[in-house]
Amino acid sequence: MPDILQVHNVVKYYGRGNIVTKALDSISFCVDQGEFTAIMGASGSGKSTLLNVISTIDRVSSGEICVEGQRIAEMKEKQLSLFRRDKLGFIFQEYNLLDTLTIRENIALPLNLKRVDVQTTQREVMRVSTALGISEQLDKFPYELSGGERQRAACARAIVARPALVLADEPTGALDSRNSRVLMKTFQQMNRQLDSTILMVTHDPVVGSYASRVLFLKDGRIWSEIDSGGRDRQTMYQEILTVMAALGGETGVR
């Protein structure tokens, strides 16, 4: 499998003068096509900063990030805008669906921005909505759906344009435990059935256990890594708890 994401020796500083914080400290890793990777760590470990520099919300201080061979650091703002549109899908904690649009229209937005023809757009919207179990909700508005259905709609919108990489920032943060499980099964569907490459930040070991690989950050560095290796999710969960306990981070289960 080719590398979709390459992070090489990335450093990120915040602050100026004598007050400088090193949020990321020489981080390097790769994510293969079709991989579902979680980033975990205690508060202040650098996991959100890492997602921010990969998503181009922030710039690295040094090092290199490549997505499908494209070097993010070398891009100008207009190039970055097109890069985000064409290569990245985003899933947020708060859904970010537009209340004035139907679910169908919300999901179709990335394709409309790319000026994809109507027939192709309709076909792709139906493809992802059927796979994620919301095809019967397409003509409803976001306020008419449950929290879990809204988050699945957000997932459909994130993958409808077939991005190279889907980035998820604490995607279950606004959901109860039942809807969190439903959403994570949706992520597995996206990964296994729709071949989406996913990079997810989470503090929750239950959520992390759905990933096939987990990177643990501490003080801006990759401290440890575990791979499911085809093992069951309960085994993955127990290993995550063990590593999080060694890290001194949160291991609470919602």
Per-residue pLDDT of the chain (254 residues; tens, 9 = 90+): 678 999 999 999 988 777 888 999 999 999 999 999 999 998 889 999 999 999 999 999 999 999 999 999 889 989 999 999 999 999 887 778 999 999 999 999 999 999 999 999 999 999 999 988 899 999 999 999 988 888 889 999 999 999 999 999 988 887 888 888 888 988 998 998 888 999 999 999 999 999 999 999 999 999 999 998 878 899 999 999 999 988 875 544 44
Q: Which domain holds residue 91?
A: 3-247
| Contact predicate 217/46, CB 8 Å | yes
Sign for the pseudo-dihedral over CA of 222, 251, 211, 85: negative
- Decide if 215 is inside a domain: yes
**pLDDT given at position 179:** 82
Asked if the structure places residue 197 within a domain, the reply is yes
Question: Considering the entire predicted model, what is its pTM?
Answer: 0.89
- The answer to whether 175 and 168 are in contact (CB under 8 A) is no
CA 164 to CA 212: how far, in whole Å? 18
| Rg over CA atoms, the chain | 18
Angstrom distance (rounded) from CA 127 to CA 83: 24
173 belongs to a structural domain: yes
Residue 220 lies in a domain: yes
Instruction: Decide if 254 is inside a domain.
Output: no
Domain count, the chain: 1
Encoded amino acid at 80, one letter:
L
Q: What is the pLDDT of residue 254?
A: 40
- Kindly state whether residue 149 falls inside one of the protein's structural domains: yes
Burial class (CB in 10 A: 0-12, 13-18, 19+), 50: buried
Q: From CA 42, how far away is CA 45, in angstroms rounded? A: 6
- Which CATH number characterizes residue 77's domain? 3.40.50.300
Instruction: Report CA torsion sign: 15, 218, 88, 204.
Output: negative
Instruction: Tell me, yes or no, whether 54 lies in a domain.
Output: yes
Q: What are phi and psi of 39, to 5 degrees?
A: -110, 125
- Quickly list H helices, the chain: 47-54, 77-87, 103-113, 118-131, 147-159, 177-192, 205-208, 233-247
DSSP 203: S
pLDDT value for 250: 53
**SS3 string of 9-51?**
EEEEEEEECCEEEEEEEEEEEEEECCCEEEEEECCCCCHHHHH
Residue in 253, 167, 243 with CA at minimum distance from that of residue 205? 253
C-alpha distances in Å from residue 91, one per residue of 34, 94, 246: 17, 9, 29
Give the pLDDT confidence score for residue 96 in this predicted structure. 84
Domain assignment present for 18 = yes
